Amino acid sequence: MKAAAQKQTAERVGRTINGLLLFILALICVLPFMHMIAKSFSGASAVSAGRITFWPLDATLNTYRYVLQDGLFFSSFKNSVTITLAGTFVALAITTMAAYPLSKQYFRGRKVILMLYVFTMLFYGGMVSIYIFMRSLNLLNTLLSQIIPLALSQYNLFIMKTFFEGIPEPIEESAHIDGAGPIRTLVSIVLPLSLPSLATIALFYAVAYWNSYYHAMLFVTRADVKPLQMYLYELITTAQNLYEVDPVIASGLSGGGMQAAAIVVSTMPILMVYPFVQKYFVKGLTIGSVKG
Amino acid sequence: MQGFLKSHSVPGKMRFGQYFRRYWSLYLLSIPGLIYVVGYKILPLIGLQLAFKNFDMFAGQGILDSLFKSEWVGLKHFESIFRSRNFTHLLANTLTISLMKLAINFPLAIVLALMLNEVKNRIFARVTQTVVYMPHFLSWVIIHGIFVTLLSSNGVVNHTLRAVSGKTIDFYTNPQIFRWLLVLTESWKETGWSAIVYLAGLTAIDEELYDAAYVDGAGYLKRLWHVTLPGIIPIISLMLLLRMGGILGAGHEQILVMYNSTVYATADVLSTYIYRIGIGKLDFSVATALGLFESTVGFILMVSCNGISRKVLGRSLW
Amino acid sequence: MKKILALLLTLTLLAAADPLVDAVAENEKPVLRVLGTYNSHDPNNDPTAQAIEEKTGYHVKYFMLPAENALENLLMQIASGEQYDILRISETMYQELLSRNALMPLDELLAEEGSNLTSKIFDSAYSLTRLNGKTYGIPMMAERASITDGIVMRKEILDELKLGVPTTPAELKSVLMAVKAAYPDMIPLLTNDEEMIETIASGFGFYFDWNEVDGKLIHYVEMPEYQEYLAYIVDLYNNGLLDADIAINTGTTRTEKFSSDNAFAYTCGGWTDAATIAYINAFPDRELIYLDPLYDVNGKAGIKRQQALNNVSCIPVTAANPRDAVRFMNRKLDDDVFTYITIGEKDVHFTVDEKGNYAPIMPIFNEVRNNAWWYLNSFDMTKYGDMWMARTRRTKATGLIYDGLNQHANQFAVDNPTDLCPTLEVVAQNKASLATMIHDYVLQIIVGVKNIEDHEAFVQEWLEAGGQASKDAINEWYLNR
């Protein structure tokens, strides 16, 4: 009896320590971001002097006022939203359509097609070739040139395929008996059952689109089609221009504070969305990797 | 029921004509993906011939024509790559950084999952999870932006260090420390996210097994060893194999954003070097040759690891 | 499969054909496409762009290279036949394109359509953009031959610590040491271009990239003086006199540090230097000392007077409207047009006093012509020097910096021996990669990853990577000039 009580105490202590450690880990995850937020709301002199820790000093909204006023920020934000929405939709459609046949063992040609996807996962023609590709289709300086490169991730395709394989055969069979072809089965039976998976993959694509800048760097030379990340990249690496643009306004603000504000504004959309789809992606990821 | 089984579950025995009439829509569904993969991935592979040519951008009318018109040089670029001192050095860096990340970040995710699994308060569990997933959603550009301000010589971290110990750490310019910076920023970004898979595996373990062990008087460590770990070992193995397959990718995007010339000695990896050669020196031929090497080795590794995983564990990526 | 084949066919067809269209009726003005270097404004939405369209009658679509990897992006675009009528690019980019035969010779078009372009821009300027006797680019020189580099120091700290203005490398070090002792948290010297800080290099007896020694030009990396210079810089770093973040600084962080009381001295890179401007704006009551170039052991000092090309406007061989492009650039140089698009209207946007001194009217000047420089292809070389003062004086800070850097120009300015060197193919091909090489090397030396004892090995590497070839080409020109 005494031993059991001791053990229970030990477990309770263990659990408390565990909780504390997790709390610290969680802090480590948010604090750097908190620092950014604090900085974005702080006055120029405090930022420049490096006095900011995790709460704003000489609180101000000027940084946001400036960032949101900048026409280029606004247009690139709009572009990123368009690219992300359209891209996610297209990518999700292609991925679902491609994954469904591959999940069927009886799909003839499955192995060949699968190998094609595996092969292209690792072999790519290089920068010059994809540039030629975009140029040939007259897609330079378009939003489409930023959508195409990410429109199919083989990794997501494989996860999707595994999801579909996990749907019990009999459910689909019953649809077959009713005379439904594969497409109708997919639309009316399989997709409704796969909402968590679809949400997961959609989130993956959305994050990839929202965060990408590499392709824009290759294909975009017009300010009005730049995505947000490219704007940010330029702001972070070469922000000195800020002072040339408007020395009068810029003198009251700090480059660091401005960067922080731009970072906060640009990450907000994703940070606002993901907690709400969390239960889906946790489920989605799980099915994808546990079932084999 | 009998008839249904005959016609539906053994489509493998039909003649193709009959099969196709019934299942043509599967092919229809495959078309968009195939167009994409053939058009955007396979066709541009003609660019790989650069690896065997001396690329002259302005050799022909338009860049595609130049591609074809450039002169063939056989394996010259590969020879010079394999001979150069740089190559072994780059390969060593790539493997070192990759293995460091594997050794640290891989177990870290498992530990985090174990810790999260022990939390009984649902709200605390939910909030903690949400918070540790957060960094995954930030791009490397942004993460770099955040950490460079935190860790520079007048950032918060060094401010504090200076106040406490009088010393500062050159996170970004000390070649040895910089590797750790790469490893640990990746831990920061991905540990929570990677833990999801294990956490799911953990919740799938039968509660009764724990109860039985508990009744037998097994302490936490014993239960961990005899119940928990065996329960998730298949997932761990699968994840490990997948990571091994990608061992040549040491984190291209991350390093490219974060490094600077003072840490080339320890942080320059195959893919970043390819990028610098291709873009900095405009030597697309050497860059393509290196890329081709990287792809080939990566492909072999990936396919074999996937094969092993399927044979041994009965699970695989595809 | 058919679809795939069809796609394949379209791809090849599209990629192969890049027709040259130059058939536009005489009186119909085509839309011109202009590509320029990176700047953080939207070039199609700027008052200057409107002014240009209004005065020339040409509708222009502007494009911008990215901030990073601009050269590589430019080459890809031009090689793939992307159609631009005018490229307004840096000298390095121009030379790279020229060495790859991507540009159109302009002599004929200039003779027929370019009366302003040929009369208002000196022939000496054109000599810089010529290759084998043919002109491929419209040169835009630095507005005035002026000094563009220097070190600024905070006077109030010098005064407070009773320190004199340093005139030699040794004095500079002791001043920085004294500041470090008094203000341990302050960065004594914040630098921008550590591979050759001109003010300090003067203290070791060299002033340029290519220096004349016994009638021949040699690059500073090969000079024994450069090793001394490097050793000196390393010593400064090791004593904590340079910024510890030297390798990861960006324009923003430097500006941040200098304009917020965190640095004592700073290497100012010209009258538009962001950090210096920000500092002056932040502390209008303080005074900056502009250091004269340091004296070397022989009691000599000097600093480069920048006379080189600022940028070049050229026409790629694939351009659709080369004739209109020249006409357009020529029209922009008509006196009234030029004044209007560069500094606006007299007494509305700028003023001229009886002595002929130009000054901007603020803030309207900045609102309408702040980015005007981005649109200029070139200028009237006899007149613009004075007009340009309105631009340097568009803020108090830019004017102060310009005057400060040039305060003792008569005494110290030295002309660069390679100022008038035309485009040389080998030099052009290697310029960018050699510069990166030196930049990377110097940073590695400074932070101690590489050792100065290995300098010979680096020089060897540099020579093999194209340094020797460049050296030979430059000397061949120098001896026969």
**Whether residue C18 has pLDDT greater than 50:** no
Neighboring chain A residues of C371 at a CB cutoff of 8 Å: 245
Tokens 């009366």 label which residue?
A: C115
Q: What whole-number distance in Å separates Cα of residue C257 and Cα of residue A50?
A: 9
A148 in contact with B at a CB cutoff of 8 Å? yes
Distance from CA of B85 to the nearest CA of A (A): 24
Contact list, A259 vs chain C (CB under 8 Å): 252
Distance (Å, rounded) from C-alpha C321 to C-alpha C325? 6
Distance, CA of B254 to CA of B266 (rounded, Å) = 14
- Residue in B with minimal Cα distance to A203: B137
Q: Measure CB to CB from residue C40 to each of A132, A138, A234 and give the nearest one.
A: A234
Region B7-20: mean pLDDT is: 67
Query: Chain A neighbours among B 214-273 (CB < 8 Å)?
Result: 219-220, 235, 238-239, 253
Q: Which residues 275-304 on chain B approach chain C with CB closer than 8 angstroms?
A: 278-282
Q: Compute how many other C-beta atoms are within 10 angstroms of the C-beta atom of residue C232.
A: 19
Which phi and psi (to 5°) does residue C153 adopt? Answer: -130, 150
Secondary structure of residue C93 in the 3-state scheme: helix
Question: Tens of pLDDT along B86-145?
Answer: 888 999 999 999 999 999 999 999 999 999 988 888 899 889 999 999 999 888 888 988
Looking at the fold, whether A245 and A129 belong to one and the same domain comes out as yes
Q: For A108, which residue in chain B has the nearest alpha carbon? A: B12
| Alpha carbons A165 and A163: distance in angstroms, whole number | 5
- CB-nearest partner of C45 from A71, A138, A141: A71
Predicted TM-score (pTM) of the model is: 0.81
CA distances from C246 to A223, C182, C183, C187, C444 (A): 31, 22, 19, 11, 10
Please name the residue of chain B whose CA is at the shortest distance from the CA of residue A98: B30
Residue A274 lies in a domain: yes
Contact B265 C80 (CB under 8 A): no
- Burial of C347 from C-beta contacts in 10 A (0-12 / 13-18 / 19+): exposed
Q: Tell whether A175 and A73 lie within a shared domain.
A: yes
Q: What is the DSSP letter of C418?
A: T
**Confidence band of A288 (pLDDT split at 50, 70, 90):** low
Q: Are residues A172 and A270 in the same domain?
A: yes
* CB C269, CB C149: distance < 8 Å: yes
pLDDT score for B281: 66
pLDDT of residue A240: 46
The partner residue sitting opposite C42, judged by closest CB among A50, A133, A224, is A224
Was domain C11-143+308-344+371-376 assigned CATH 1.10.238.10?
no
CA–CA gap between residue C468 and residue C459 (Å, rounded): 10
Q: Which of A36-40, C228-232, C444-448 has the highest mean pLDDT?
A: C228-232
pLDDT band at A236 (very low <50, low <70, confident <90, very high): low
**Domain residue ranges in chain C:** 11-143+308-344+371-376, 150-305+420-480
Confidence of residue C211 (pLDDT cuts 50, 70, 90): very high
- pLDDT over 70 (residue C140): yes
Q: Do A121 and B302 touch (CB under 8 A)?
A: yes
Residues of chain A with Cβ-Cβ distance to B315 below 8 Å are: 292
Q: What are phi and psi of C139, to 5 degrees?
A: -80, 140
Nearest to A36 by CA among A194, A247, A266, A284: A266
pLDDT digits (tens, 9 = 90+) for C327-338: 999 999 998 899
Among B31, B58, B150, B170, most C C-beta atoms within 10 A, so best to mutate, is B58
Residue A186 lies in a domain: yes
For residue A190, give both structure tokens. 């399989």
The candidate with the shortest Cα–Cα distance to B77, out of B45, B44, B42, B48, is B48
pLDDT of residue C343: 87
* Cβ of residue A270 closer than 8 Å to a chain B Cβ: yes
* pLDDT score of B184 more than 50: yes
CATH of the domain at A108: 1.10.3720.10
Nearest CA in chain B to C433: B281
Contact state of C64 with A222 under an 8 Å Cβ cutoff: yes
Indicate whether A93 and A41 sit together in one domain.
no
Confidence category of residue A287, pLDDT binned at 50, 70, 90: low
In this structure, the answer to whether residues A104 and A32 fall within a common structural domain is no
Q: CATH homologous superfamily for C150-305+420-480?
A: Periplasmic binding protein-like II (3.40.190.10)
With CA atoms as reference, the chain A residue closest to C261 would be A49
C70-82: per-residue pLDDT in tens?
A: 887 888 788 777 8
CA distances from B163 to A70, A183, C138 (A): 39, 67, 57
Q: B101 to chain A, minimum CA–CA distance in Å? A: 18
Q: Please tell me whether residues A102 and A234 are part of one structural domain.
A: yes
Are residue A76 and residue A179 in the same domain, yes or no?
yes
Q: For chain B, how big is the Rg over CA atoms in Å? A: 26
User: What would the two tokens of residue B142 be?
Assistant: 């942004």
DSSP C311: E
A221 touches C: beta carbon within 8 Å: yes
Cβ contacts of C439 within 8 Å, gap of 6 or more: B261, C195
pLDDT category of residue B1 using cuts at 50, 70 and 90: very low
pLDDT at C22 over 50: no
Q: Give the single-character DSSP code of C288.
A: E
Question: Does residue C143 contact residue C255 with C-beta atoms inside 8 Å?
Answer: no
CB contact under 8 A, C4 and B262: no
Q: Using CB atoms and an 8 Å cut-off, which of residues 164-203 of chain B contact chain A? A: 188, 192, 196-197, 199-201
The token pair at A224 is: 């009005």
Q: How many CB pairs under 8 A join A and B?
A: 262
Give the pLDDT confidence score for residue B250 in this predicted structure. Answer: 79
pLDDT higher at B249 or B39: B39
Percent of chain C's residues with pLDDT above 90 = 45
Nearest partner of C75 among C316, C289, C386, C356, judged by Cα: C316
Q: Please name the residue ranges forming H helices in chain B.
A: 2-8, 16-36, 62-69, 76-83, 85-118, 122-133, 140-151, 156-165, 175-203, 207-215, 220-223, 229-245, 252-258, 264-267, 270-275, 284-313
- Please check whether residue A217 touches C, CB under 8 A: yes
> Which pLDDT score is estimated for A106?
85
**Cβ atoms < 10 Å from Cβ of C385:** 14
- Does the CB of C440 have a partner CB in chain B at under 8 Å? yes
Which tops the pLDDT comparison, C216 or B61? Answer: C216
Pair of tokens at residue C283: 């502390």
Q: What is the secondary structure of chain A as a DSSP string?
A: -HHHHHHHHHHHHHHHHHHHHHHHHHHHHHHHHHHHHHHHTS-HHHHHTT--SSS-SS--SHHHHHHHH-HHHHHHHHHHHHHHHHHHHHHHHHHHHHHHHHT-TT-TTHHHHHHHHHHHHH----HHHHHHHHHHTT-TTSSHHHHGGGS--HHHHHHHHHHHHHS-HHHHHHHHHTT--HHHHIIIIIHHHTHHHHHHHHHHHHHHHHH--HHHHHH--SGGG--HHHHHHHHHHHTTHHHHH-HHHHTTS-HHHHHHHHHHHHHHHHHHHHHHHHHHHHHHHHHHHH--
Averaged pLDDT, C121-135: 87
The answer to whether residues A41 and A168 belong to one domain is: no
Please give the Cα distance from B284 to B52 (Å, whole number): 11
- Mean pLDDT of the B245-267 span: 85
pLDDT band at B2 (very low <50, low <70, confident <90, very high): very low
User: Tens of pLDDT along C388-440?
Assistant: 777 777 677 878 888 888 888 888 988 888 877 887 878 877 887 888 889 99
The residue of chain A with its CA nearest to that of B17 is A108
Give A23-42 pLDDT, tens digit per residue: 999 999 999 988 889 988 88
- Beta carbons within 8 Å of A12's beta carbon, 6+ residues apart: none
Average pLDDT of every residue of chain C: 86
In DSSP terms, which residues pair with C216 in a beta bridge? Answer: C213
Based on the fold, state whether residues A32 and A101 are members of the same structural domain.
no
Render pLDDT for A84-97 as a digit per residue (tens, 0 to 9): 999 999 999 999 99
User: What is the reported pLDDT for B64?
Assistant: 80
Verify whether the Cβ–Cβ distance B62 to C72 is below 8 Å: no
Neighbours of C134 (CB within 10 A): 12
Pairing of strands C216-219, C210-213: antiparallel
Domains detected in chain B: 2-72 (no CATH), 80-313 (1.10.3720.10)
Q: Is residue A60 part of a domain?
A: no
When comparing pLDDT for C364 and A97, which is higher? A97
User: A152 and A41 in one domain?
Assistant: no
The rounded distance, in Å, linking the Cα atoms of B250 and B230 is 30
Q: What is the pLDDT of residues C56-72, one digit of tens each?
A: 999 999 998 887 778 87
Residue C6 has pLDDT above 60, yes or no: no
| Mean pLDDT to the nearest integer, B233-248 | 81
The answer, for B103 touching chain C at a CB cutoff of 8 Å, is: no
**Residue A288 near residue A197 (C-beta atoms within 8 A):** yes
Q: Comparing C-alpha atoms, which of B105, B126, B302 is closest to residue B195? A: B105
Most C CBs within 10 A among B173, B272, B276, B279, hence the mutation to make, goes to B173
What's the gap in Å between the CA of B304 and the closest CA on chain A? 12
Contact status of C244 with chain B (Cβ, < 8 Å) = yes
- What is the spatial distance between Cα B120 and Cα A12, in angstroms, rounded to a whole number? 11
The tokens for B120 are 């009984």
The two tokens of residue A217 are 């760097």
Residue A139 covered by a domain = yes
From chain C, the residues in CB contact with B156 under 8 A are none
pLDDT of residue A107: 87
Which of A168-172, A256-260, B62-66, C377-381 reaches the highest mean pLDDT?
C377-381
Co-location of A178 and A123 in the same domain: yes
CB contact under 8 A, B34 and C247: no
pLDDT at B305 over 50: yes
d(CA A254, nearest CA chain C) in Å: 7
**Which pLDDT does position B57 carry in this prediction?**
77
Sheet containing C263-268, strands listed edge to edge, beginning at the edge strand earlier in sequence: C187-190, C263-268, C150-154, C288-290
Split into its structural domains, chain A has a count of: 2
Residues belonging to chain C = 481
Neighbours of A142 (CB within 10 A): 16
Give pLDDT tens digits for A45-69.
777 666 777 888 888 888 888 777 7
Domain hosting residue A44, numbered range: 2-48
| CB-based contacts of B293-297 (< 8 A; 24+ apart in sequence) | B293/B78, B293/B81, B294/B248, B294/B270, B295/A122, B295/A123, B295/A124, B297/B248
Confidence of residue A237 (pLDDT cuts 50, 70, 90): low
How would you label C411-448 residue by residue, b for 16+ Cβ within 10 Å and e otherwise? ebbeebbbbebbbbebbbbbbbebeebbebbbbbbbbb
Residue C135 binned pLDDT confidence (cut-offs 50, 70, 90): very high
pLDDT of A105: 85
C389: enclosing H helix or E strand: helix C384-392
Q: In angstroms, rounded to a whole number, what is the distance separating the alpha carbons of residues C72 and C93?
A: 9
- C67 vs B: CB within 8 A: no
Angle between helices A154-166 and A71-102 (to 10 degrees): 50
For residue B277, the distance in angstroms to the closest alpha carbon of chain A comes to 12
Q: Burial level of B16, CB count in 10 A (0-12/13-18/19+)? A: exposed
Asked if B37's CB is within 8 angstroms of A117's CB, the reply is: yes
CA distance B175 to chain C (A): 8
